[in-house]
Amino acid sequence: MKMQNLFKFIPLLSIALLLSCGGSGQTESTESEASQKTKVRVEEVKLVPVDQISTFTATVEADKVNNIAPAMGGRIREIYVEVGSQVRKGQVLVAMDASTYSQQETQVATLRRDFERYKELYEVGGISKQQLDQVKTQLDVAETAMNNLGENTKLVSPLNGVVTARNYDPGDVAMQLPILTIESMNPVKVTLNVSERFYSQVKIGMPVEVQADALGDEVFEGKISLIYPTIDPVSHTFTVEVSVPNNNQKLRPGMFSRVKMNFGTNDRPLLSDLAVLKQVGSNDRYVFVEENGKAKYTIVQLGARIDDKYEIISGLNAGDKVIIHGNTNLIDGSEVEVID
């Protein structure tokens, strides 16, 4: 009787064991699938006003440059300034040999006396008007020549500025090179090439910010003073000149500079830099957008970097949920689980 009861119990036990093993396998399978999903954090894209600032590189230049040289070659008697000297408009800088000027001065004095004598003769009827006019013409020509020689005997500065080059010493004969170079440094100008897409936005008088690498973070305020009327067909840029006040003369010709122009504001997506990845082997930038539990590979075009965020010019819309953590090993279509 006991044996019969045991035989009845064994099949029931086997069925229970089978059911128990089957249920455990299904649970483990469900947990395995869940564990395969990458846990990520997302950031919802929002539109915010972003200043449209563009930065251009350029070189600082003198506002005006003047080469001091005589109209004709001659021997230098004296140079009154050195490189670095501050000069004023009208200041005598160089004295040239005056022997030719002295000879011309003597000739003019002789012609003046002749003219006065001929004038007296003409008044008493001793000579004709034509003879008097001939002497007057000779005097005028000689005086003009003397004035020209005078201008080339004492060379003066045509502007306020700084001596930036000296190519001769007293006693040298000035030939091809200028004796001195004078540069005006207040204001200075910055010449830059701007992309043609900004042509309609750049205006005369538009304020800009200028920074020179040699002067750290110091900012100089300037204004656009000249816009060239043509666009380069190769680079598709146009030339702009910026005038920058330089009262303390910290900005010096030749300095490398950066010019910032503000073209207003646009409502653009602003996204954490943690979300932006670089495509290997190219300059493409991309993000992953979470859609229905999957990661969607999305190319984006970046604008300005603002603190720890990037302005997104294209590729995203307001409301997109962009993955900012857990995105490094994802591929397009990866299953993801969003966590807080």
pLDDT tens string 2-29: 444 444 444 444 444 444 444 444 444 4
Whole-number pLDDT of residue 24: 46
CA distance 140 to 187: 41
The Cβ-side half-sphere exposure at 156, using a 13 Å CA radius, reads 9
Q: Which residues pair with 254 in a beta bridge?
A: none
Is there a shared CATH topology between the 38-50+266-338 domain and the 55-61+184-265 domain?
no
d(CA 242, CA 207): 9
Each residue's pLDDT tens digit, 102-125: 566 677 787 788 778 877 777 777
Q: Which residues lie across from 181 on neighbouring strands?
A: 67, 165
pLDDT band at residue 273 using 50, 70 and 90 as cut-offs = confident
Q: Please give the structure tokens belonging to residue 325.
A: 């953590």
Which region among 35-49, 92-106, 176-190, 222-236 has the lowest average model confidence (pLDDT)?
92-106
Calculate what percentage of the chain has a pLDDT beyond 90: 34
For 51-72, the pLDDT digits (tens) are: 777 889 999 999 999 998 887 7
User: What are 140's two structure tokens?
Assistant: 């005028």
Contacts of 147 (CB under 8 A, 6+ apart): none
**Which CATH superfamily is 55-61+184-265 part of?**
Efflux pump adaptor protein, beta barrel domain (2.40.30.170)
pLDDT for the residue 242? 95
What are the b/e assignments for 220-246, b being 16+ CB within 10 Å?
bebebbeeeeeeeeeeebbebbbbbeb
Domain-wise residue ranges, the chain: 38-50+266-338, 55-61+184-265, 98-152
Work out the pLDDT band at 100, boundaries 50, 70, 90.
low
State yes or no: cis peptide before 233, omega within 30 of 0.
Answer: no
Q: In this predicted model, what pLDDT tens digit does every residue of 147-167 receive, in sequence order? A: 666 666 788 899 999 999 999
Question: In the CATH hierarchy, which fold is given to the domain comprising 38-50+266-338?
Answer: 2.40.420
What mean pLDDT comes out for the span 233-250?
A: 93
Provide the angle, in degrees to the nearest 10, between the axes of the packed helices 99-123 and 129-151: 160
pTM: 0.59
> What mean pLDDT, rounded, does the chain reach?
82
